[in-house]
Amino acid sequence: MDFTFSFTEIADLKKFLEAVKTCENEVYFESADGDRLSLRSALCRLILYSICCRREQPKNAVIRCYGEHDRQLLMPYLKNHL
């Protein structure tokens, strides 16, 4: 089962990406422009972080994860959870 949440909900991207490393399944970043990055890949995490450093932040992007275990793992890094 997959879960999605808005990319803008992430409170601290650095900590969030650290948590992604311990996920059991794939975690994707999907943008409205059609970009789909598998965040388990080091290079994709690097790409995501570098595009987030730009003045122009990704709009309408979502994070997609699979399985309850990974959802529970990532939830603490979302703004609403804090």
Beta strand 36-38 with 27-30 is antiparallel
Q: Does 49 bind other proteins (CB under 8 A)?
A: yes
Residues 23, 25: Cα–Cα separation, whole Å: 6
The residues in 1-20 that bind other proteins, with binding defined as CB under 8 A, are: 13-14, 17
Shortest spacing between CB 25 and other proteins, in angstroms: 17
Q: What sections of 1-82 are H helices per DSSP?
A: 13-20, 42-52, 68-74
Q: Does 34 bind other proteins (CB under 8 A)?
A: yes
Segment near other proteins (CB under 8 A), from 2-10, 48-56, 65-73, 74-82?
A: 48-56
